[in-house]
Amino acid sequence: MLLRHVRYLKAVADFGSFTRAAQALHVSQPALSQQIKELEERLGAQLLDRSGRQIRPTDLGSVYLERVRRALSELDEGARAIRDVEDLSTGSLRLGITPSVAAYLIGPLSQRFRASYPNIKFSIRVSAQEEEIHPALLDDELDLGIGFGDLPSEDIEITPLHVERMALIVNAKRWPVRKTVLSAAEVANIPLALLDASFSTRRMVDRYFRKEGLRPRIAAEANSNLTLFELIRQTDLATILPENVGGSGLSAVKIKPAFEPRRAALLRRRNAYCSAAARAFIVMTQQIVATFANR
């Protein structure tokens, strides 16, 4: 049985005439009659009463058409849903993002995305790239990830975004304005609040000071950027995070020699379906990070 058969049956029942139904469907009347006859033979039931001037459904036909109309309505609704998702009037996006990138990128990204597509359900998971984001992408629990391109995986497609540069993040009110660049030795003598060793950012900081032959003054450790920011605002501590990190009362001070730069990247399961919402989000992310180079 083909969908065409049931649509033809519904048209004849709605018009009460083979002739008018054939005209509306742009098919010949003999072809229309033959299709409905085939449907009746497949079902083993007479669906239309052809004995009068007007074609009417039989009792069996009425029962069948009641369900046909519901089914066709659902199919039409499904087609409209597809169009709605394609034009971004509805849909969903599941994003995984690493904590250090989330600290400066998730704010402007979510603000612009929500303003442009208010009916898209936006789900955000802040977590480690290798331990959580990669497996979630592979298990289809996330549509996209934002992390780093230096953690390759043959099953993950990587789209480079921008180069992330590390800096000393300080309390703007406590920090001397004249000091805009510090040596590694000077930074090592400042009491620091750092992310704990479970974060790739912390491991990067540890490698930097080992390479410089220095032992930094680590006064506090935390497992979230928000905690670090509060420590900086409320105490004399500083931290080391990407220079893009900002916010009320915070300033970035350059460190020389510079940390080895790392490239933030969009992550997606290789050959995975990319929804309209995901495509729009990718374009928007690329537009936002393009402004970083001009800062």
Domain ranges of the chain: 3-86, 92-163+263-294, 166-260
Written as six digits, the tokens of 271 are 């050959």
- Mean pLDDT, to the nearest integer, of 138-143? 87
Strand partners, 267: 145, 158
pLDDT reading at 86 higher than 90: no
CATH of 166-260, one of 3.40.190.290, 3.40.50.2300, 1.20.1260.10, 1.10.645.10: 3.40.190.290
Instruction: Decide if 95 contacts 282 (C-beta within 8 A).
Output: no
Instruction: Decide if 235 contacts 165 (C-beta within 8 A).
Output: no
pTM, entire model: 0.66
CATH number for the domain formed by residue range(s) 3-86: 1.10.10.10
pLDDT at site 256: 95
3 state DSSP class of 193? strand
Percent over 70 (pLDDT), the chain: 94
pLDDT at site 294: 55
* Predicted confidence (pLDDT) per residue in 250-265, tens digit: 888 999 999 988 889 9
* Whole-angstrom distance, CA of residue 31 vs CA of residue 38: 11
pLDDT category at 152 given cuts 50, 70, 90 is low
Identical fold between 92-163+263-294 and 166-260: yes
Mean pLDDT of the chain: 88
pLDDT at site 93: 87
- Mean pLDDT, to the nearest integer, of 128-157? 85
Strand partners, 242: 166
Q: Which region, left, alpha or beta, applies to residue 15 given φ > 0 means left and ψ of -120 to 50 means alpha? A: alpha
pLDDT at site 184: 96
CATH of 92-163+263-294, one of 3.10.620.30, 3.40.190.10, 3.30.365.10, 3.40.50.2300: 3.40.190.10
In the chain, what's the furthest Cα-to-Cα distance? 100
Phi, psi of 174 (to 5 degrees): -90, -15
* Predicted confidence (pLDDT) per residue in 223-243, tens digit: 888 899 999 989 999 999 988
Treating both helix axes as pointing N-terminal to C-terminal, what angle do 18-25 and 3-15 enclose, rounded to 10 degrees? 130
